[in-house]
Structure 1
Amino acid sequence: MKKIANYILAFSLLYFTSSCDKNLSELNVNNTNSTTLDPALLLNQAIINTSFPVKSLVFDIGIVQQMITPNGGVLAGANFNQDSRDVTTQPLWTAYYQSVIKNTYDAIAKSKDLSTRTNMYNMARIYQSYVFMILTDEFGEIPYTEGGAGYAQHINFPKYDRQQDIYPKLIQELTDAAAALTTSSTIETGDMLYAGNVAQWKKFAYSLLLRAGMRLSKIDPAKAQSTVQAAVAGGVITANADNAFIRHDANFNQPIGATLNGGEAANFYLTKPFVDQLKNTNDPRLQAIAIRYVGAKSGAGQTVAVGSTDPTKQIGMPMGYDNGTIVAQATADGLASFYDYSQADRRRILKVSSPVFLVTAAQTNLLLAEARFRGWITSGTAAQYFADGIKAHMDQMAAYDANSAISATARDVYVTANPLVAGTELQQINTQYWIASFLNGPEAFANFRRSGFPALTPNPYGQPSNPDVPNGTFIRRLTYPTSELSVNTDNVNEAIGRQGADKLSTRVWWDKP
């Protein structure tokens, strides 16, 4: 009897245990979360995380001498020719790989085999190519083939690709994805860039293809020409209605605008080269962009009451000064303090709700002007593309704020007074590209290196004793973040061995002297 009782007890325990296991397995199933994620959400997440981070202000925009700060610390970068990879270059790398490339990679993977989502698949490919182009232009060799594959393929230490291998792949990817977009497939109306408009996505892709082709103008002119011709044949952005830009509002702030409307409001100033370029040519964009708080002796003194947008009163901050030496220079310039220099107006062009422009009609028309001048395309004239590029950027100013709008009369007067002149075409076109790319730091930096224009004087700060940025030279790339050097050591060192020293002065592949 005792034995039977033991069998019953054992059976009961076994049954109870099995029941518990069954219940526990059910507890591990989340009945509220979706098991799949719409790739449209992933693409949108990538788009909203692409807005240029503050790093772009500290490095790119400073390198091309549009805005600068005399202050160091976490703001040190282009102003002192200083490598600040932990504070400023790492955020770009981290933000773009973790918040953009990862999402575009996942969007591509989830839509690739869906016959009804071919447009989503190709839109994600195009957008990923855009972001990879920024990353390789900024750093040189980067994880491309294995970039974004960490979670899906368990690649935690991605290998780096040579830039000369990346560019042909970007060109092919843009070409194939643009051609594959079609109105016969599902229109992805939830997309935040163009609401699924196939024609606009095609123009975006072909404009990126044009940009990629022009990057090769010195390193591979034949490939540059064929790529440009293919882009033009496909159809590029030539009107502002097709501009690719990211919208912001009070909840989703423009990163640089939020910074300059916050704790760094009194720290960044328009440079003397940028202000003088606009001022000396009576460019109406100066009034649309700049403000000077006349007589300000501190940040608190930069009030609306003393703010002036009068172009004749704008004075840019000269390059090469820190917050000690700038004091005497401000006095020499007849100012109350360095707070009296001109700034980009944070109440108009750099509001927290200001848009971030990625690819514009202004930029594309100016690239077409150069391509036509080089004889790479036969449609139109260089002079007309040049004029159209200037007009497009002036008209674009109204998108920032109604008070930054430029009248058609002022626009046309400027264009008439500043035609394309024989013998100076490349300088004129690329100086206008510099202006038209204001606030788009990565693109302004890339095109400046590619073209050599505008003809800027190197930032003299600390250069005689700076082994990284020698006297009379410019920063040519950004350095790899410490996280890569310490975690992905073997692969990043292999890239450095091919590309050259991990310094600000090392040129990327297409940046031929």
Structure 2
Amino acid sequence: MQKIFSYRLWILLLLTTASCESGLSDLNVSKTNPTALDPALLLNQAVINTSFPVKSLVFDVGIVQQMVTPNGGVLAGANFNQDSRDVTTQPLWTAYYQSVIKNSHDALMRSKDDPARSNMYNMARIYQSYVFMILTDEYGDIPYTEGGAGFSDQVLLPQYDPQQEIYPKIIQELTEAAAALDPAGTIETGDVLYAGDVAKWKKFAYSLLLRAGMRLSKVDAATAQSTVQAAVAGGVITANADNAYIRHDPNFTQPIGSTLNGSEAANFYLTKPFVDQLRQTDDPRLQAIAIRYVGAGSGAGQTVAAGTTDPAQQIGMPIGHDNGTIIAAATADGLVSFYEYSQVDRRRMVKISSPVFLVTAAQTNLLLAEARFRGWIGTGTAAQYYADGIRAHMDQMATYDPNAAVSPTARDNYVAANPLTAGSELEQINTQYWIASFLNGPEAFANFRRSGFPALTPNPYGQPNNPDVPNGTFIRRLTYPTSELSVNTENVNEAIARQGPDKLSTRVWWDRP
């Protein structure tokens, strides 16, 4: 009996020891550091980090003459036709490659071989294509094939792909991914862009395909036409309910809104070309967008009490001045100081919680108007698409703030008074695209270069002796950041040799005179 008892005691001790060791090993497993991330979280991280950074104001928005600052230093860029690689590093290259491309690529790789996450995989392909399109439009040749492989494949010095090869790949990705989205598959409800709505993701993809096709209008008309036709056949965004936009709140703030409600509140102004375009056509969007602080002698004078949104009172800042010469210009315009020039209303249009629109019904309808005018599609009429695009953008104003809403009566009166006119179709359509892309700097910049409209006068500041932007010309691209020139030297130099000098005046592949 004693022997049996000893065996039982020995077994009990073994079990107890094993249990203790199991508990100790569990202590070494982190409960808060997951070994695998849900690709939905990664894609969401990519989306929310796409909101156009503050320095987009310095180049994109300034180049297309919607807003400008007379101040230099860290704000120097399009206002002085001045290259600033430290500035160009921040807005898109560093932020997009290190966060947006990295996360969308990671989401793509983690869902690629999981049939249950097929929709997630294709959503990630679509979104990454959108971001790559922005990057190549801004810089030209970029790391595309190896652009997101730093984390997954340890490619730390990626090669640059020619833009001429990137666009066909983007078109292929959008085409395949849109077709593969399946409403019968897993619906990714955690998606912050469309809550996994497959029909809306398809429209987003085909709208991007339309945009990509139109980019090629000067360099490859045949491919442009076939791509546009495929996009229209797939179904594009034509109603504001399907707009692709990023939502912000007091915790996750809009980058431009945060800056224009903070340190740079008194530094950026609506330009004379932009304000004059809206004033001269009695455009009701001017009242929705602009505010002027009458009598302001400094930033401190820009108070709520001094503000007026009356369109007749709006005065845009002329292009080509610094904070010395702008004083005389303001005096000539009858202003107390340059602080009296009109600004985008930071209490309505660019609040810290304002949305950032990526692809909209307004933009898509206007591209359809051009495609119809060119005879590339056979549905609808150019005039109807044109009118629908204007209406969509005016209706979009209310999304920024209820006090920025354009009334249906004002909207319809404007559309009736400004029809598409024979002989000026391309100028009218693309001038409206310029207005409809306000605050979407990368898209406004890209379409301005592609179409040549609106017919802006080049910024004259310092041009006669400017090595980067010759007299009478515009900035055509952003230059590569210093980090690439110093670290990824061989690959970036190969791109420069192929594309042309790494200057603001060098045209990207699809940008033809």
TM-score range, shorter chain: over 0.9
Q: Which residue of 1 aligns with 2:52?
A: 52
1:424 to 2:424 alignment: yes
Deviation at 1:33, TM superposition (A): 2.0
Deviation at 1:29, TM superposition (A): 4.7
Supply the distance in 2 between the matched residues of 1:87 and 1:231 (Cα, whole angstroms): 35
Q: Deviations over 1:271-319 (max 9, x none)?
A: 0000000000000000000000001000000000010000000000000
Unaligned runs of 5+ in 1: 1-21
Supply the distance in 2 between the matched residues of 1:377 and 1:23 (Cα, whole angstroms): 68
Q: Which residue of 2 aligns with 1:109?
A: 109
1:141 to 2:144 alignment: no
Q: Which residue of 1 aligns with 2:15?
A: none
The aligned runs of 1:151-300 (5 Å cut-off) are 151-300=151-300
Supply the distance in 2 between the matched residues of 1:448 and 1:102 (Cα, whole angstroms): 29
Supply the distance in 1 between the matched residues of 2:374 and 2:67 (Cα, whole angstroms): 31
Supply the distance in 1 between the matched residues of 2:180 and 2:318 (Cα, whole angstroms): 49
Q: Which residue of 1 aligns with 2:3?
A: none
Question: TM-score, structure 2 length as denominator?
Answer: 0.95
Distance 1:28 1:484, change over 3 A: farther
Supply the distance in 2 between the matched residues of 1:184 and 1:300 (Cα, whole angstroms): 57
Q: The residue matched to 2:464 in structure 1 has which SS?
A: helix
CA contact (8 A) 2:292 2:308 kept: yes
CA contact (8 A) 1:190 1:196 kept: yes
CA contact (8 A) 2:65 2:274 kept: yes
Supply the distance in 2 between the matched residues of 1:33 and 1:233 (Cα, whole angstroms): 45
CA contact (8 A) 1:89 1:478 kept: no
Aligned AA (1:171): I
Q: Which residue of 1 aligns with 2:99?
A: 99
Aligned AA (2:491): N
Q: Which residue of 2 aligns with 1:331?
A: 331
Deviation at 1:91, TM superposition (A): 3.8
Q: Which residue of 1 aligns with 2:43?
A: 43
Deviation at 1:184, TM superposition (A): 1.2
Aligned AA (1:336): V
Q: The residue matched to 1:245 in structure 2 has which SS?
A: strand
Distance 1:325 1:122, change over 3 A: same
Deviation at 1:188, TM superposition (A): 0.2
Supply the distance in 1 between the matched residues of 2:493 and 2:24 (Cα, whole angstroms): 47
Supply the distance in 2 between the matched residues of 1:279 and 1:140 (Cα, whole angstroms): 35
Moved over 6 A (4+): 22-28
CA contact (8 A) 2:88 2:480 kept: no
Deviation at 1:264, TM superposition (A): 0.3
1:408 to 2:408 alignment: yes
Q: Which residue of 2 aligns with 1:123?
A: 123
Aligned AA (1:344): V
Supply the distance in 2 between the matched residues of 1:90 and 1:275 (Cα, whole angstroms): 29
Supply the distance in 2 between the matched residues of 1:366 and 1:79 (Cα, whole angstroms): 28
Q: Which residue of 1 aligns with 2:398?
A: 398
Deviation at 1:151, TM superposition (A): 1.4
Deviation at 1:154, TM superposition (A): 0.9
Distance 1:493 1:28, change over 3 A: farther
Question: TM-score, structure 1 length as denominator?
Answer: 0.95
Q: Which residue of 2 aligns with 1:64?
A: 64
Q: The residue matched to 1:59 in structure 2 has which SS?
A: helix
Aligned AA (1:290): A
Deviation at 1:55, TM superposition (A): 1.6
Supply the distance in 2 between the matched residues of 1:32 and 1:162 (Cα, whole angstroms): 43
Supply the distance in 1 between the matched residues of 2:304 and 2:26 (Cα, whole angstroms): 63
Unaligned runs of 5+ in 2: 1-21
Supply the distance in 2 between the matched residues of 1:177 and 1:69 (Cα, whole angstroms): 41
Deviation at 1:88, TM superposition (A): 3.6
Q: The residue matched to 2:428 in structure 1 has which SS?
A: helix
Q: Deviations over 1:126-180 (max 9, x none)?
A: 0000000000000000000000101111100000000000000000000000000
Q: CA RMSD in A?
A: 1.4
CA contact (8 A) 2:369 2:381 kept: yes
Deviation at 1:25, TM superposition (A): 9.1
Q: The residue matched to 1:173 in structure 2 has which SS?
A: helix
Aligned AA (2:426): L
With 24-33 and 195-204 compared, the bigger mean Cα shift is at 24-33
Deviation at 1:367, TM superposition (A): 0.1
Q: Which residue of 2 aligns with 1:383?
A: 383
Q: The residue matched to 2:305 in structure 1 has which SS?
A: helix
Supply the distance in 2 between the matched residues of 1:151 and 1:190 (Cα, whole angstroms): 24
Supply the distance in 2 between the matched residues of 1:406 and 1:223 (Cα, whole angstroms): 38
CA contact (8 A) 1:39 1:120 kept: yes
With 82-91 and 215-224 compared, the bigger mean Cα shift is at 82-91
Aligned AA (2:195): A
CA contact (8 A) 2:391 2:415 kept: yes
Q: Which residue of 2 aligns with 1:309?
A: 309
Supply the distance in 1 between the matched residues of 2:126 and 2:247 (Cα, whole angstroms): 19
Aligned AA (1:500): G
Supply the distance in 1 between the matched residues of 2:80 and 2:512 (Cα, whole angstroms): 24
Aligned AA (1:489): T
What is the aligned residue count?
Answer: 493
